[in-house]
Copies of this chain bind each other. A is one copy, B any other.
Amino acid sequence: MSLSKQHQQFPTADHDHQHCVERALHEAENYCRKRGVRLTKLRHRVLELIWANHRPVGAYDLLQQLTLDGHKAAPPTVYRSLDFLLEHGLIHRINSLNAFVGCDHPGLDHSAQFFICHSCGQAAELDDTKIESAIASHAKRIGFSIERRSIEITGVCTHCEGEHSDA
């Protein structure tokens, strides 16, 4: 699958979000089938809830959603699903928010960077080669062996910049 450029920027208010969700769920299903791991009903639902929009969502918000579903869940229920989804690269954790967001292109061993708008709350996942190579190059220079990256840039997105309130 190719990496569409549409994902390299902030989603507009009128984008076809249903498409985002369906695509994400399909990709997750395919990924899990190929890898022989189980995208159980619970995990599927958690992933779907995370994809409700492009805003990182907290574990306890997810818990509340599950409860609204009628699913009497406790924290480990949701944390275990989150662990599974993280482990398989289907979601990302946003450390600066203690929250989780769907991965735009799961399965790829990609280096992700997040631009997070504190006005609309949305996060855009990027895969910028220059940022990644600048980091890789510095790591090489100091002999550092990279395992994980957490790159979170907070500010105001282009859609919110021109608005009346908050900004």
Q: Which residues of B contact A161 (CB under 8 A)?
A: 143, 145
A2 to B15, CA, bound (A): 48
Does any Cβ of B come within 8 Å of A165's Cβ?
Answer: no
When C-beta atoms are compared, the residue in chain B nearest to A152 turns out to be B150
* Main SS class of interface, A: mixed
Known: A95-B96, A150-B152, A152-B150. A143 touches B157 (CB 8 A): yes
Residues of A bordering B, CB below 8 Å: 8-10, 95-96, 113, 115, 117-118, 124, 126, 128, 130-131, 134-135, 137-139, 142-158, 161
16 extra interface residue pairs, beta carbon distance < 8 Å, beyond A143-B157, A150-B151: A8-B142, A10-B142, A115-B138, A128-B135, A130-B134, A130-B137, A130-B138, A134-B134, A139-B153, A139-B155, A144-B155, A144-B157, A146-B155, A148-B154, A150-B153, A151-B151
**A–B complex contacts, Cβ < 8 Å, 24 sampled:** A9-B142, A95-B95, A96-B150, A115-B139, A124-B142, A124-B144, A126-B138, A128-B134, A131-B135, A142-B158, A143-B158, A144-B155, A144-B157, A145-B156, A145-B161, A147-B154, A147-B156, A148-B154, A149-B154, A150-B150, A150-B151, A150-B153, A151-B151, A151-B152
